[in-house]
Amino acid sequence: MEMIPSTPTPFHLFAALPTELRQKVFLHAATICRILSLTYNLATNTFHSATPPPAILSTTHSSRLSALNQYALCFSTPTSLPKIYFNPHFDTLYLPRQGEMGYDSSLRDFRSLVSDPFSILDEVRSVAVDHVRGDIKRPWEAYSKASFIRSFPNLEEVLIVLNDEEQGEIGVNEEVEFLEPKEDPEKLLMVWYYFRQSFLQEEKLLEEVCREMEKEYERFNLPVVRIRRKVRKEYGRKLTGVVGLEEASEGMRL
């Protein structure tokens, strides 16, 4: 069996390929799924991301033009301009918890904090939130998570993120990637079950409130829920052998 090299091999003849083939490569590179970590600063009313911009935006002039058809600058607020590239169809929108206790109201109010004049966030397909232990999470966390998830009408996937115990606590300003969890299957099942049950309970309460207020209740079906383990990006590469686009694109520069 042929061994796959551990380091990427530059392809120096990329510029000699037919234009149509290069465009297909650029299109593929522009639709690679990413984890976009996003945090909110209440003091400045701004959003920040530890995830670097897609490498395809700075590889060549042609690649940038192709990428700009796939990515848009997003996450502006009434007092700040959009500065984070995002593709709602392929990127997973990940909001890590910033405090020791769990999520604050910024998760619940996320859609109202973001200025989204073109409704780009309506097209989000995948979101991720941290799992927070029951002994430290705030009482309103289930409601905040349910409100956040409910705000994406075309959602197809929710990721519940566990911290990798071998790495310790990962800061919100560190780039991460998601791997399959290593925990005991029974523990994972309980995490999945309690998350789902808490969401269904919040939906039931919302339905009762709407009935009492004589308002129409809009049913929301929880999409697929998966559990993932987050690791620092470089650590994840070492474990999986994944080659980042930054390295692979070295041989593509014109």
Residues recorded for the chain: 254
Largest CA distance in the chain: 68
pLDDT at 105: 87
Percent of the chain whose pLDDT exceeds 70? 74
Which of 87-96, 160-169, 188-197 shows the lowest mean pLDDT across its residues? Answer: 160-169
| CA 129 – CA 97 distance, rounded (Å) | 8
Higher-confidence residue of 90 and 246: namely: 90
| pLDDT over 50 (residue 211) | yes
pLDDT at 10: 66
DSSP the chain: -PPPPSS----TTGGGS-HHHHHHHHHHHHT---EEE-EEETTTTEEE-SSPPPGGGGT-HHHHHHHTTT-EEE-BBTTB---EEE-TTT-EEEE---SSS---HHHHTHHHHSB-TT-GGGG--EEEEE---TTTS-TTHHHHHHHHHHT-TT--EEEEEEEPTTT-PPPTTS-EEEE---S-HHHHHHHHHHHHHHHHHHHHHHHHHHHHTT---------EEEEEEEEEHHHHHHHH-PPPHHHHGGGG--
The pLDDT assigned to 250 comes to 39
- The stretch 118-130 carries a mean pLDDT of 96
Q: Indicate if the pLDDT at residue 132 is higher than 90.
A: no
- pLDDT, mean over the chain: 81
Q: How far is CA 155 from CA 109, 128, 148, 150, 230, in A?
A: 17, 11, 11, 9, 21
| CB-CB contact of 164 with 230 (8 Å) | yes
> Which pLDDT value is given to residue 225?
96
pLDDT at 237: 55
Q: How many CA atoms lie within 13 A of 247 on its CB side?
A: 10
- Whether residue 179 contacts residue 239, with contact meaning beta carbons closer than 8 Å, is answered with yes
Using one digit for the tens of pLDDT, what is the confidence trace for 46-84?
999 999 988 777 666 566 676 667 888 999 999 999 999
User: How confident is the model at residue 249, as a pLDDT?
Assistant: 39
pLDDT digits (tens, 9 = 90+) for 7-53: 666 655 555 555 555 555 555 554 567 899 999 999 999 999 999 98
